[in-house]
Amino acid sequence: MDRFEIQLDHPAATYFPGQRVTGTLIFNTKKSQNVEAINIRVNGEISAGWKHYNQLFQEHIMYASKMVNLDGLEQPVIEKNVIPQGDHSYPFSFPIPADCVPSFEGKNGAVRYKIHVEILRIKKSKMEVEKVFSVLPYVDLNNIPRAGLPLEDIMSWLPKKNTEVKVKFYIPKRGFVAGDTIPVSVDIENGSSSKIKEITMKLIQINHFEAQQQTSHTAKEFFRFNRKNIEEEISSIQKKCEVKEHLETLRFELPIPKETRPTFKTKLIHLAYKVAISVGNDKKLECELPIILGTVPVQPRPPSYSVAVGMSGPPCYEE
Protein backbone atom coordinates (compact mmCIF):
# COMPACT_ATOMS: atom_id res chain seq x y z
CA MET A 1 0.00 0.00 0.00
CA ASP A 2 1.29 3.44 -0.95
CA ARG A 3 -0.84 5.14 1.72
CA PHE A 4 -2.24 3.83 4.98
CA GLU A 5 -3.21 6.43 7.60
CA ILE A 6 -5.84 7.70 10.01
CA GLN A 7 -7.08 11.26 9.52
CA LEU A 8 -9.05 12.97 12.30
CA ASP A 9 -11.63 15.64 11.51
CA HIS A 10 -10.20 17.73 14.35
CA PRO A 11 -6.60 18.53 13.24
CA ALA A 12 -5.41 19.25 16.80
CA ALA A 13 -6.54 15.75 17.89
CA THR A 14 -7.76 17.09 21.25
CA TYR A 15 -11.20 16.36 22.70
CA PHE A 16 -13.22 16.90 25.85
CA PRO A 17 -15.01 14.10 27.67
CA GLY A 18 -18.48 13.63 26.17
CA GLN A 19 -17.42 14.69 22.67
CA ARG A 20 -17.24 12.41 19.66
CA VAL A 21 -14.05 11.58 17.81
CA THR A 22 -14.65 11.43 14.08
CA GLY A 23 -12.25 10.67 11.29
CA THR A 24 -11.44 8.54 8.27
CA LEU A 25 -9.20 5.59 7.54
CA ILE A 26 -7.52 6.27 4.18
CA PHE A 27 -5.44 3.83 2.17
CA ASN A 28 -4.42 3.04 -1.40
CA THR A 29 -3.98 -0.43 -2.88
CA LYS A 30 -1.85 -1.15 -5.96
CA LYS A 31 -3.75 -4.38 -6.46
CA SER A 32 -6.84 -6.03 -5.02
CA GLN A 33 -6.60 -7.37 -1.48
CA ASN A 34 -8.30 -10.42 0.02
CA VAL A 35 -9.31 -9.45 3.54
CA GLU A 36 -11.26 -10.93 6.42
CA ALA A 37 -12.11 -7.61 8.06
CA ILE A 38 -11.07 -4.03 8.73
CA ASN A 39 -11.31 -3.35 12.47
CA ILE A 40 -10.94 -0.24 14.58
CA ARG A 41 -10.53 0.08 18.32
CA VAL A 42 -9.75 2.88 20.78
CA ASN A 43 -7.10 2.03 23.38
CA GLY A 44 -6.34 3.84 26.62
CA GLU A 45 -3.41 3.16 28.93
CA ILE A 46 -2.59 4.31 32.45
CA SER A 47 0.99 3.47 33.42
CA ALA A 48 3.26 4.11 36.38
CA GLY A 49 6.84 3.02 36.97
CA TRP A 50 10.20 3.91 38.52
CA LYS A 51 13.35 2.36 39.95
CA HIS A 52 14.34 2.44 43.62
CA TYR A 53 17.60 0.87 44.81
CA ASN A 54 17.75 -1.27 41.66
CA GLN A 55 14.19 -2.49 42.25
CA LEU A 56 11.70 -1.91 39.44
CA PHE A 57 8.18 -0.79 40.30
CA GLN A 58 5.85 -0.86 37.32
CA GLU A 59 2.15 -1.30 36.54
CA HIS A 60 -0.17 -0.76 33.58
CA ILE A 61 -3.94 -0.57 33.25
CA MET A 62 -5.28 -1.01 29.72
CA TYR A 63 -8.69 0.12 28.50
CA ALA A 64 -10.09 -0.82 25.09
CA SER A 65 -13.33 0.00 23.34
CA LYS A 66 -15.41 -2.67 21.64
CA MET A 67 -13.87 -3.71 18.32
CA VAL A 68 -15.79 -2.10 15.46
CA ASN A 69 -15.83 -3.57 11.98
CA LEU A 70 -15.54 -1.00 9.18
CA ASP A 71 -17.72 -2.72 6.58
CA GLY A 72 -17.34 0.02 3.96
CA LEU A 73 -20.83 -0.37 2.52
CA GLU A 74 -20.21 2.47 0.09
CA GLN A 75 -16.92 1.04 -1.17
CA PRO A 76 -16.70 -0.48 -4.71
CA VAL A 77 -16.34 -4.15 -3.68
CA ILE A 78 -15.86 -6.52 -6.65
CA GLU A 79 -16.75 -9.64 -4.69
CA LYS A 80 -17.06 -10.74 -1.08
CA ASN A 81 -13.93 -10.14 1.08
CA VAL A 82 -12.08 -8.39 -1.75
CA ILE A 83 -10.92 -4.77 -1.70
CA PRO A 84 -10.25 -3.65 -5.28
CA GLN A 85 -7.27 -1.65 -6.50
CA GLY A 86 -7.41 2.10 -5.91
CA ASP A 87 -8.11 4.68 -3.22
CA HIS A 88 -10.33 3.81 -0.27
CA SER A 89 -11.76 5.70 2.70
CA TYR A 90 -13.67 4.39 5.71
CA PRO A 91 -15.24 6.98 8.06
CA PHE A 92 -15.55 6.22 11.75
CA SER A 93 -16.99 7.83 14.88
CA PHE A 94 -16.96 7.00 18.58
CA PRO A 95 -17.84 8.84 21.83
CA ILE A 96 -15.47 9.74 24.64
CA PRO A 97 -17.05 8.78 27.99
CA ALA A 98 -18.16 11.71 30.13
CA ASP A 99 -15.98 10.50 33.01
CA CYS A 100 -12.89 9.89 30.86
CA VAL A 101 -9.57 10.60 32.63
CA PRO A 102 -7.52 13.36 30.91
CA SER A 103 -4.30 12.68 29.06
CA PHE A 104 -1.26 13.12 31.29
CA GLU A 105 2.54 12.93 31.03
CA GLY A 106 4.47 12.80 34.30
CA LYS A 107 7.91 11.83 35.50
CA ASN A 108 6.75 8.44 36.79
CA GLY A 109 3.48 7.85 34.98
CA ALA A 110 1.26 8.71 32.04
CA VAL A 111 -2.29 8.51 30.66
CA ARG A 112 -2.38 8.03 26.87
CA TYR A 113 -5.01 7.37 24.19
CA LYS A 114 -4.78 6.11 20.61
CA ILE A 115 -6.89 4.78 17.75
CA HIS A 116 -5.80 1.38 16.43
CA VAL A 117 -6.83 0.05 13.00
CA GLU A 118 -5.98 -3.36 11.60
CA ILE A 119 -6.64 -4.91 8.21
CA LEU A 120 -6.82 -8.69 8.48
CA ARG A 121 -5.57 -10.03 5.17
CA ILE A 122 -6.23 -13.60 4.06
CA LYS A 123 -3.03 -15.70 4.06
CA LYS A 124 -0.94 -12.60 4.67
CA SER A 125 0.23 -10.69 7.72
CA LYS A 126 -2.19 -8.14 9.04
CA MET A 127 -1.58 -4.41 8.50
CA GLU A 128 -1.83 -1.99 11.41
CA VAL A 129 -1.81 1.78 11.90
CA GLU A 130 -2.29 3.96 15.00
CA LYS A 131 -3.19 7.57 15.70
CA VAL A 132 -2.59 9.27 19.04
CA PHE A 133 -5.13 11.76 20.41
CA SER A 134 -5.50 13.68 23.67
CA VAL A 135 -8.38 13.99 26.11
CA LEU A 136 -8.54 17.45 27.65
CA PRO A 137 -9.37 17.82 31.34
CA TYR A 138 -12.91 18.77 32.31
CA VAL A 139 -13.74 19.13 36.00
CA ASP A 140 -16.94 20.96 36.94
CA LEU A 141 -16.38 22.10 40.51
CA ASN A 142 -20.13 22.55 40.95
CA ASN A 143 -20.44 18.75 40.87
CA ILE A 144 -18.06 18.44 43.83
CA PRO A 145 -20.01 19.47 46.96
CA ARG A 146 -16.94 20.19 49.11
CA ALA A 147 -15.43 22.52 46.46
CA GLY A 148 -17.54 25.41 47.75
CA LEU A 149 -16.80 24.79 51.42
CA PRO A 150 -14.27 26.91 53.35
CA LEU A 151 -10.95 25.70 54.71
CA GLU A 152 -9.79 26.60 58.18
CA ASP A 153 -7.03 25.55 60.56
CA ILE A 154 -5.83 26.86 63.92
CA MET A 155 -2.34 26.28 65.28
CA SER A 156 -0.44 27.50 68.33
CA TRP A 157 3.14 27.74 69.53
CA LEU A 158 4.60 28.29 73.00
CA PRO A 159 7.82 30.26 72.47
CA LYS A 160 8.32 30.92 76.20
CA LYS A 161 6.75 29.93 79.51
CA ASN A 162 3.26 31.38 79.98
CA THR A 163 3.21 32.79 76.45
CA GLU A 164 1.39 31.62 73.35
CA VAL A 165 1.20 32.48 69.67
CA LYS A 166 -2.08 31.44 68.00
CA VAL A 167 -2.59 31.55 64.24
CA LYS A 168 -5.81 30.95 62.31
CA PHE A 169 -5.63 30.20 58.57
CA TYR A 170 -8.74 30.65 56.43
CA ILE A 171 -9.60 30.11 52.73
CA PRO A 172 -13.25 30.87 51.78
CA LYS A 173 -13.60 27.87 49.40
CA ARG A 174 -11.68 24.78 48.29
CA GLY A 175 -12.31 24.77 44.55
CA PHE A 176 -10.44 26.99 42.06
CA VAL A 177 -9.54 27.05 38.37
CA ALA A 178 -6.25 27.85 36.64
CA GLY A 179 -5.66 31.60 36.49
CA ASP A 180 -7.48 32.25 39.77
CA THR A 181 -5.91 33.68 42.90
CA ILE A 182 -6.42 31.94 46.22
CA PRO A 183 -7.45 34.41 48.94
CA VAL A 184 -5.91 33.46 52.28
CA SER A 185 -6.41 35.30 55.54
CA VAL A 186 -4.11 34.76 58.52
CA ASP A 187 -5.19 35.89 62.00
CA ILE A 188 -2.22 36.12 64.36
CA GLU A 189 -2.69 36.51 68.10
CA ASN A 190 0.76 37.12 69.49
CA GLY A 191 0.79 36.68 73.24
CA SER A 192 4.57 36.69 73.47
CA SER A 193 7.34 39.23 73.19
CA SER A 194 8.68 37.48 70.08
CA LYS A 195 8.15 39.30 66.79
CA ILE A 196 6.74 37.52 63.74
CA LYS A 197 8.58 39.00 60.80
CA GLU A 198 7.73 36.79 57.83
CA ILE A 199 4.94 34.64 56.34
CA THR A 200 5.48 32.40 53.29
CA MET A 201 2.83 30.68 51.19
CA LYS A 202 3.36 28.12 48.45
CA LEU A 203 1.07 26.31 46.02
CA ILE A 204 2.32 22.74 45.81
CA GLN A 205 1.45 20.22 43.08
CA ILE A 206 1.45 16.62 44.32
CA ASN A 207 2.01 13.79 41.83
CA HIS A 208 1.16 10.48 43.51
CA PHE A 209 2.05 7.20 41.76
CA GLU A 210 1.38 3.59 42.69
CA ALA A 211 2.85 0.41 41.21
CA GLN A 212 3.76 -3.15 42.04
CA GLN A 213 7.30 -4.37 42.56
CA GLN A 214 8.51 -6.47 39.64
CA THR A 215 10.37 -9.61 40.73
CA SER A 216 11.37 -12.93 39.23
CA HIS A 217 8.74 -14.66 41.32
CA THR A 218 5.20 -15.26 40.14
CA ALA A 219 3.61 -16.00 43.51
CA LYS A 220 1.41 -13.18 44.71
CA GLU A 221 3.04 -13.08 48.13
CA PHE A 222 6.27 -11.86 46.53
CA PHE A 223 4.60 -8.70 45.23
CA ARG A 224 4.25 -5.62 47.40
CA PHE A 225 2.59 -2.32 46.68
CA ASN A 226 4.68 0.84 46.72
CA ARG A 227 3.85 4.52 46.47
CA LYS A 228 5.83 7.51 45.34
CA ASN A 229 5.01 11.23 45.75
CA ILE A 230 6.59 14.04 43.81
CA GLU A 231 5.92 17.53 45.14
CA GLU A 232 6.60 20.60 43.03
CA GLU A 233 6.22 24.25 43.95
CA ILE A 234 4.31 26.04 41.20
CA SER A 235 3.60 29.39 42.88
CA SER A 236 4.68 31.27 46.01
CA ILE A 237 4.46 34.60 47.83
CA GLN A 238 6.31 35.97 50.84
CA LYS A 239 5.30 38.88 53.03
CA LYS A 240 7.42 40.75 55.53
CA CYS A 241 5.57 41.85 58.65
CA GLU A 242 6.04 43.10 62.22
CA VAL A 243 3.46 41.32 64.37
CA LYS A 244 4.17 42.20 68.00
CA GLU A 245 2.09 41.64 71.13
CA HIS A 246 -1.40 42.06 69.66
CA LEU A 247 -3.95 40.57 67.24
CA GLU A 248 -3.43 41.24 63.56
CA THR A 249 -5.07 39.95 60.36
CA LEU A 250 -3.00 39.60 57.19
CA ARG A 251 -4.46 38.89 53.76
CA PHE A 252 -2.75 37.19 50.83
CA GLU A 253 -3.52 36.44 47.16
CA LEU A 254 -1.71 33.31 46.01
CA PRO A 255 -1.78 33.05 42.19
CA ILE A 256 -2.53 29.84 40.28
CA PRO A 257 -0.61 29.73 36.95
CA LYS A 258 -2.87 29.58 33.89
CA GLU A 259 -1.26 26.38 32.58
CA THR A 260 -1.90 24.44 35.81
CA ARG A 261 -3.65 21.10 35.23
CA PRO A 262 -6.82 20.21 37.17
CA THR A 263 -7.03 17.64 39.92
CA PHE A 264 -7.70 14.05 38.85
CA LYS A 265 -7.41 10.56 40.29
CA THR A 266 -6.98 7.06 38.85
CA LYS A 267 -5.94 3.76 40.42
CA LEU A 268 -2.26 4.44 39.64
CA ILE A 269 -1.95 8.23 39.34
CA HIS A 270 -3.35 11.02 41.50
CA LEU A 271 -2.74 14.72 40.80
CA ALA A 272 -3.55 16.96 43.77
CA TYR A 273 -2.72 20.39 45.22
CA LYS A 274 -2.18 22.01 48.59
CA VAL A 275 -1.41 25.44 50.02
CA ALA A 276 1.59 25.27 52.36
CA ILE A 277 1.95 28.14 54.86
CA SER A 278 4.83 28.86 57.23
CA VAL A 279 4.86 31.61 59.86
CA GLY A 280 8.13 33.13 61.10
CA ASN A 281 11.72 32.64 60.04
CA ASP A 282 12.13 29.56 62.24
CA LYS A 283 8.93 28.00 60.75
CA LYS A 284 7.61 26.99 64.15
CA LEU A 285 4.08 27.27 62.75
CA GLU A 286 3.37 25.43 59.51
CA CYS A 287 0.07 24.51 57.92
CA GLU A 288 -1.07 22.63 54.80
CA LEU A 289 -4.54 23.14 53.30
CA PRO A 290 -5.68 20.88 50.42
CA ILE A 291 -7.46 22.54 47.49
CA ILE A 292 -9.20 21.25 44.35
CA LEU A 293 -8.42 22.54 40.86
CA GLY A 294 -11.07 22.26 38.15
CA THR A 295 -12.00 23.78 34.80
CA VAL A 296 -15.49 25.11 35.61
CA PRO A 297 -15.52 27.53 38.59
CA VAL A 298 -17.79 27.23 41.60
CA GLN A 299 -20.97 29.26 41.17
CA PRO A 300 -22.54 30.89 44.23
CA ARG A 301 -25.71 29.10 45.27
CA PRO A 302 -28.78 31.01 46.48
CA PRO A 303 -30.00 30.06 49.95
CA SER A 304 -32.90 27.62 50.11
CA TYR A 305 -35.79 27.93 52.51
CA SER A 306 -38.47 25.50 53.70
CA VAL A 307 -42.06 26.62 54.15
CA ALA A 308 -43.71 26.12 57.53
CA VAL A 309 -47.20 24.61 57.27
CA GLY A 310 -49.66 24.88 60.16
CA MET A 311 -48.87 25.80 63.73
CA SER A 312 -47.58 22.44 64.98
CA GLY A 313 -44.04 23.66 65.61
CA PRO A 314 -41.26 26.04 64.64
CA PRO A 315 -40.14 26.23 61.00
CA CYS A 316 -37.37 23.91 59.80
CA TYR A 317 -34.51 25.59 57.99
CA GLU A 318 -32.34 23.74 55.48
CA GLU A 319 -28.82 24.76 54.56
Domain ranges of the chain: 3-135, 141-294
Q: Could you report the per-residue pLDDT of 143-159, keeping only the tens digit for each?
A: 999 999 999 999 887 76
Domain boundaries 3-135, CATH class: mainly beta
- Is 58 buried (19+), middle (13-18) or exposed (0-12) by CB count in 10 A? middle
pLDDT at 84: 84
The per-residue pLDDT for 155 is 86
Q: What is the pLDDT of residue 61?
A: 87
CATH 1.10.3470.10 fits 141-294, yes or no: no
Which of 143, 170, 150 is closest to 262 using CA atoms? 143
Average pLDDT, the chain: 83
What's the pLDDT tens digit per position in 68-100? 666 553 444 435 678 888 888 889 988 999 989
Which of 14-28, 50-64, 75-89, 226-240 reaches the highest mean pLDDT?
Answer: 14-28
Is it true that 3-135 and 141-294 share their CATH fold? yes
Three-class HEC string of the chain: CCEEEEEECCCCCEECCCCEEEEEEEEEECCCEEEEEEEEEEEEEEEEEEEECCEEEEEEEEEECCCEECCCCCCCCCCCCEECCEEEEEEEEEECCCCCCCCEECCCEEEEEEEEEEEEECCCCCEEEEEEEEECCCCEHHHCHHHHCCEEEEEEECCCCCCCEEEEEEECCCEEECCCEEEEEEEEEECCCCCEEEEEEEEEEEEEEEEEEECCCCCHHHCCEEEEEEEEEEEEEEEEEEECCCEEEEEEEEECCCCCCCCEECCCEEEEEEEEEEECCCCCEEEEEEEEEECECCCCCCCCCCCCCCCCCCCCCCC
In the structure, what pLDDT confidence band is assigned to residue 304 with cuts at 50, 70 and 90? Answer: low
φ/ψ (deg, to 5) at 238:
-140, 135
pLDDT at 102: 94
pLDDT in tens, 164-219: 788 899 999 999 999 999 999 988 887 776 777 788 999 999 999 988 876 655 54
Task: Give the pLDDT confidence score for residue 300 in this predicted structure.
Answer: 78
Q: Give the pLDDT confidence score for residue 22 in this predicted structure.
A: 93
Characterize the bridge pairing of strands 247-255 and 225-243.
unpaired
